[in-house]
Amino acid sequence: MPDQVAIVTGGAGDVGRGVCRALSAAGVAVAALDLDVSKADGAELALECDVTDHHACAQAVDAVASKLGGVSTLVNMAQAMLAGTPLLDLSARDMRTEFESGPNATLRMMQLCYPHLKARGGGAIINFASGAGTYGLPGLGAYAAAKEAIRGLTKVAAMEWGRDNIRVNAICPVATSDHSADWVSQAVAVSPMGRVGDPETDIGAVVVFLAGPGAFINGRTLQVDGGSGAWR
């Protein structure tokens, strides 16, 4: 997809690096934004940016647009992840951490990128949600709530921006990441395919498809999990 420019927040993370490599292999110029870009891979531009900081995000979007020639795709993957706290012990601080890095940052990046996508006659936004929210997983209350808020924003943006030819979708992945050995063996055990997804060839491939002009999909959540949640 020559002439396409993608911003990937959380782009130096485990799944983020795979998504950057997949977009790059499809001919897209990719900018990875992350707190720490030392592990970034596959991106033409890697910018340190805290997505909870409005000024830093505005500067990063401007820098990408001027260096790479606009923005046509936004992938929101940055997210803090607090796990293992039962609902009764969740604090206001936990909720703030999850909501600031998740839906508040996702909305901020969508608002900052919207004029760039519109100026190009359209584009795609792909937000990362989670089965923790769609199914409800114990110990992940703050994270699950933040991810479901992201799905709400995704659907409203799809409705409001469809006429601008901007498609907005969400992905709930199950993929190799810095997970505990226990998490991996449980995920493999419940997977009909007997494995978790590869960040580049499984998750990145779906991002490339959704970013491409052929995807007549809008306001939807794709469970890219090899069927792990199909029975639910």
Q: Show the binding pattern over residues 82-121: x = contacts ligand NAD (CB under 6 A), - = does not.
A: -------------------x--------------------
Query: Least Å distance between CB 177 and ligand NAD?
Result: 3
Tell me the C-alpha distance between 188 and 198, whole Å.
13
Among 78, 110, 145, 157, binds ligand NAD (CB under 6 A): 78
The residue (of 118 and 179) whose beta carbon lies closer to ligand NAD is 179
Options 60-68, 78-86, 114-122, 159-167: segment touching ligand NAD (CB under 6 A): 78-86
Q: Does 79 help bind ligand NAD (rule: CB under 6 A)? A: yes
Among 123, 173, 204, 226, binds ligand NAD (CB under 6 A): 173
Q: Does 128 help bind ligand NAD (rule: CB under 6 A)? A: yes
The residue (of 128 and 161) whose beta carbon lies closer to ligand NAD is 128
Neighbours of 103 (CB within 10 A): 24
> Nearest to ligand NAD by Cβ — which residue?
13
Q: Which residue has the tokens 């939807």?
A: 220
Tell me the C-alpha distance between 36 and 218, whole Å.
31
Q: One of 99, 114, 128, 143 is an active-site residue; which one?
A: 143
Burial (CB count within 10 angstroms: exposed 0-12, middle 13-18, buried 19+), residue 159:
exposed
Query: Least Å distance between CB 163 and ligand NAD?
Result: 28
Tell me the C-alpha distance between 230 and 232, whole Å.
6
List, in order, residues 6 or more apart from 146 with CB less than 8 Å away.
79, 98, 99, 101, 102, 103, 133
- 15 close to 199: Cβ distance less than 8 angstroms: yes
Burial (CB count within 10 angstroms: exposed 0-12, middle 13-18, buried 19+), residue 14:
middle
114 tagged catalytic: no
Q: Does 175 help bind ligand NAD (rule: CB under 6 A)? A: yes
Catalytic machinery residues: 143
